[in-house]
Amino acid sequence: MSLFPFSAIVGMDDLRLALVLNAISPEIGGVLVRGEKGTAKSTAVRALAAVLPPVAVVAGCRFACDPERPVADCPDGPHASARAVTRPTRLCELPVGTTEDRLVGSLDIERALTSGVVSFEPGLLAAAHRGVLYVDEVNLLHDHLVDLLLDAAALGVAHVERDGVSVRHDARFVLVGTMNPEEGELRPQLLDRFGLTVQVAAPRETAARAEVVRRRLAFDAAPEAFAAGYAAVELELSARIAAARAALPAVRLPDRELTRIAAVCAAFEVDGLRADLVTARAALAHAAWEGRAEVTEMDVRAAAALALPHRRRRNPFDAPGLDPGQLDAALDAARQSLDDEDPDRDGPDVDDLEVGDRDDASPGGDADLGPDAGAPAGPDGQAGADGVDGVDGDPDPGPGGGGPGSGAPAAGEASAGDGPAGRPSADQAASAPVGTAAPESVVAPSATFRARRLEVPGVGRGVPGRRSRAVTGAGAVVGAQVPAGRLRDPHVVATLLAAAPHQAARGRSGPGLRLSPADLRQARREGREGNLVLFAVDASGSMAARSRMAAVKAAVLSLLLDAYQRRDKIGLVTFRGEAAQLALPPTSSVDVAAARLADLPAGGRTPLAEGLLLAHRTLARERLRDPSRRALLVVLTDGRHTAGPAPGPAAQLLARSGVAAVVVDCETGRVRLGLAGALAAGLGAPLLTLADLTAPGAAPHAGPDTPGGRRSRPVAAGPDGAATGAGLAATVRALRDAA
């Protein structure tokens, strides 16, 4: 099967450069590719693996040991006189639904317990050694799996300490993660551990877009013939990568350039020193790629443009990005400081002049990455002069270049203070005559705060997160169960209790127990899950007239930040005027929700029932799409309804469907009608005020449970009837009785 050639990719200089630098020096720590859908992220990664030089491995070794430098403690070793074979560089893809044992490997527990055979099954980290590990939609992967990936990528070694087995093996690979920011961001601590990051977008130039389509259609029509046209360029690129790898150990990093790296990283106020290390490694790799014996300012600039965008300090709802002007200013300041320290230096050297000449190009833009004037002719007979770099006359702006999606306004800032032209401010809306609908206005949110946790009652089985109690693959052991398939997490006490009554029938003689597969029990663990938090926000005139929307928006932004930290999906329903609107369909992109909320206008009548009915329909659809993710409805309103039917029937419909809800009463003033309390009673939900959301202490819960909102942790029994909370004494007694 032919893959789309790496050198035939149109544009995307930053992406291709970041991939090549990691191929030269995997110690950089991988590359995170952020971009909208349909921008050939996966195509570029798969094409990279095809141009990487072949590798020599020890025949029969599952850990791809190098025959010239075999690992002394390889689990499949020793390899003193092993035969060497050469194979292409391997591309391993990590699916979103993978498990920890599939990633790092595991002990075959069933064989170990029933047959006494210790057998370690390697995972994807071992399979990817000396190759490429590709994680599509890495932002949807669970945090602890991302942490394991990044640990192995940074250290070059995988440690497996689980199931009573201790294994260490090399795991040096090119880690590439791709993600669509619309589906949610990675946590900052995980984002920081990716070596480089690239923001990709479809070209906006007509000629470039047409060339992309032309090449793709030609490839789909005749993959082998299209790939053959770029075979020579691909071989040249593979040879250049191999030469850069060989030259990398001899490349020198002068103290002047190391000082420049430190100055640039300090100028961006990045946390820690990982940015400095990654930038230095990437600069060394870039110098080797360009065929230089030592690092220059051009290499530092190219490396910093890829290593710093996701490490700069930013507000919670800002997307990662880097302003090229800031980078140029930081480099200029560093150059001036270095020149002041070295008065004998007359001025910029040749490399410094090259940096200025190439500022209009992408960082380190490499014309040799794709076919140039000597590239093969395309299927339509045109010469390859309009190839990878020729078509892309103006490269795509880098991350943070000010384009769409570069980040929402910082929480608490007045991003829409006066509203659109022609709309009155909140103070003008407050002076509207009583009994009339307030004019439409846009109110800026107040400062955010740390919100208390709201959670769904009961125990769910949703995706791992940090909000509500759930049966998950990690957490405290609360019981045991018969494994549905392969045994992954054995519960030793429950297994022994299940086997003890059958020892006489099995003819046991002497110490020890005889186990059968039917005795095996798996631990039942309880941790936390992520939920779907749907906000139903009253944006009517009764809210805007009293200038409450600033406080309400601050409360929702605070809860959004809490949802981001707890790995929830979120949605936003607003109701005002004569109807309700789904302002944001359920998504994991909290920054998009923050942007929608900041621009939310207020004014008009209050169709409360319409808002509740739209929330019910939205939750019903999401229940079909993701039945394991439980939902929490947060209604922020003063309880008034001045348009449409009464909200009582809609509230009862939500209550009958089992939706967990919380009502936040936004009513203020000395005289209060208490309408939000009636709504909370209809929903069977607790009633909070805006002040309650900021109060410290235990989180209120949305439903009946133990008094005071505190939950007791029951001693659970497994479905097989074994009392897993019996304790050590009961276990000893059972074993003694069985003997």
Candidates 102, 216, 274, 453; catalytic one: 274
Q: How confident is the model at residue 653 (pLDDT cuts 50, 70, 90)?
A: very high
Q: Residue 274 catalytic?
A: yes
Is 472 or 259 the better-scoring residue by pLDDT? 259
| Measured distance CA(696)–CA(677) in Å, rounded | 22
CATH class of the 441-455+531-705 domain in this structure: alpha beta
What is the per-residue pLDDT for 654?
92
pLDDT, tens digit (0-9, with 9 covering 90-100), for 6-39: 989 888 889 999 999 999 998 898 899 988 777 8
pLDDT, tens digit (0-9, with 9 covering 90-100), for 184-203: 777 777 788 788 999 888 88
Q: How confident is the model at residue 712 (pLDDT cuts 50, 70, 90)?
A: very low
pLDDT, tens digit (0-9, with 9 covering 90-100), for 458-508: 888 877 777 888 887 767 788 888 887 777 777 877 887 888 888 778 777
Asked whether the beta carbons of 129 and 167 are under 8 A apart, the reply is no
Q: How confident is the model at residue 589 (pLDDT cuts 50, 70, 90)?
A: confident
Asked whether the beta carbons of 253 and 294 are under 8 A apart, the reply is yes
| Measured distance CA(631)–CA(307) in Å, rounded | 38
What is the per-residue pLDDT for 640?
85
Three-state SS annotation for 654-714: HHHCCCEEEEEECCCCCCCCCHHHHHHHHHCCCEEECCHHHCCCCCCECCCCCHHHCCCCC
Is 155 or 533 the better-scoring residue by pLDDT? 533
Whether the per-residue pLDDT at 719 is higher than 50: the answer is: no
Query: Across 353-367, 484-498, 603-617, which has the greatest mean pLDDT?
Result: 603-617
CA distances 36 to 134, 138, 182, 210, Å, are: 18, 14, 8, 19
pLDDT, tens digit (0-9, with 9 covering 90-100), for 150-183: 888 878 888 877 655 677 888 888 888 888 877 7
Q: How confident is the model at residue 431 (pLDDT cuts 50, 70, 90)?
A: very low
Hey, do 250-386 and 441-455+531-705 end up sharing a CATH topology, with the first three levels equal?
Answer: no
Percent of the chain with pLDDT over 70: 74
Closest to 479 measured CA to CA, from 715, 666, 665? 715
| Measured distance CA(249)–CA(246) in Å, rounded | 7
**Rounded mean pLDDT of the chain?**
75
| Measured distance CA(40)–CA(602) in Å, rounded | 40
Q: How confident is the model at residue 610 (pLDDT cuts 50, 70, 90)?
A: very high
End-to-end CA distance of the chain: 62
Domain 6-215+230-244, CATH number (from 3.30.930.10, 1.25.40.10, 3.40.50.300, 3.40.630.10): 3.40.50.300
Whether the per-residue pLDDT at 516 is higher than 50: the answer is: yes
Is 521 or 546 the better-scoring residue by pLDDT? 521
Asked whether the beta carbons of 580 and 609 are under 8 A apart, the reply is no
Q: How confident is the model at residue 518 (pLDDT cuts 50, 70, 90)?
A: confident
* Residue 90 CA to its chain's centroid (Å): 24
What is the per-residue pLDDT for 268?
86
Percent of the chain with pLDDT over 90: 19
Closest to 158 measured CA to CA, from 168, 149, 150? 168
96-112: average pLDDT: 74
CATH class of the 250-386 domain in this structure: mainly alpha
Whether the per-residue pLDDT at 401 is higher than 90: the answer is: no
Asked whether the beta carbons of 718 and 678 are under 8 A apart, the reply is no
Strands 569-576 and 660-665: unpaired
| Measured distance CA(545)–CA(547) in Å, rounded | 6
pLDDT, tens digit (0-9, with 9 covering 90-100), for 438-464: 456 776 776 767 777 888 888 888 777
- At 622, the amino acid letter reads E
State the DSSP code for 130. T
What is the per-residue pLDDT for 727?
39
What is the per-residue pLDDT for 79?
78
The full set of domain ranges for the chain reads 6-215+230-244, 250-386, 441-455+531-705, 468-528+716-738
| Measured distance CA(113)–CA(499) in Å, rounded | 12
310-319: average pLDDT: 68
